Amino acid sequence: MTIQAATDIFRQALMTTFWLSLPLLGIGLIAGILISLVQILTSIQDTAFGSVPRLAAFFLGLLLLLPWMITKLVTYTAGLLSDFSRYAQ
């Protein structure tokens, strides 16, 4: 295996991780901003009021995005394991 091949495998793994985590991070960002705005407008400073809806948003996002995430992971894994000859050089 050459250094270029190892670098490509590592880059592909990082990009797959990035694209899988991006939607959940976006959901967390939007939920955090909305909850902070509601807390500012209503002057509620309870920590549970901020964390419970955020966790619910993450959980709902994970449930909705899980089929897409699994498809991406299966595609990546199948592409990685489909041809061992290119790693044996």
pLDDT digits (tens, 9 = 90+) for 46-74: 777 888 889 999 999 999 999 999 999 99
User: pTM for this structure?
Assistant: 0.76
Place of tokens 């495998």: 9
Angle at which helix 47-81 crosses helix 3-42, to 10 degrees, equals: 160
* Residue 21, number of CB atoms within 10 A of its CB: 11
Between CA 9 and CA 72 the distance in angstroms is: 16
pLDDT of residue 57: 93
Q: Is the dihedral of CA 30, 57, 25, 61 positive or negative?
A: negative
